[in-house]
Amino acid sequence: MESFTTSRHFDRLMNRREQVAMTLHHLEKEHAEVERNTDWLDQAAYESRVRLLDRLTDWYLEELNKIDEALKRADKSTYGSCAACHRPIESARLDAAPATEFCAACQTVREELETA
């Protein structure tokens, strides 16, 4: 993969990683605030809020892990190559999702297998 393109995607990955880390920090603070608040009149509202914060945290942690894996691939000079077929991942796909590890064809096969 061209170093220019890899550099552009690397910068995007690093910027997104910083955004996700800040969001996780905010979610952690929000969760602590919910736990400190003892004025919940409705237990269901409290539990709903906690579940929402937990789901958001899990979602962002998963994204952070994908970004970290992409950065590891960049360190090993395998970034931009499909993890399944080892062909280059489409540039437009990397533009849309810089942390992706599969080309469009391999991702389609994976999704079909998951739904089967």
CATH number, domain of 51, equals 1.20.120.910
Mean pLDDT score across all residues of the chain? 90
Neighbouring-strand partners of residue 81: 88
The closest of 27, 15, 36 to 59, measured between CA atoms, is 27
**Number of structural domains, the chain?**
1
Distances in whole angstroms, Cα of residue 103 to Cα of each of 1, 64, 90, 100, 109: 13, 20, 6, 8, 10
pLDDT per residue as tens digits for the range 70-101: 999 999 989 999 999 999 999 999 999 999 99
Tell me if 17 sits within 8 A of 67, measured CB to CB.
yes
Q: 16 is in which domain, residue-wise?
A: 3-115
DSSP character at residue 1: -
Looking at residues 19-43, what average pLDDT do you find? 89
Predicted pLDDT of residue 105? 97
pLDDT per residue as tens digits for the range 45-58: 888 889 999 999 99
3-class DSSP assignment, residue 88: strand
With pLDDT > 70 as the criterion, what percentage of the chain qualifies?
Answer: 94
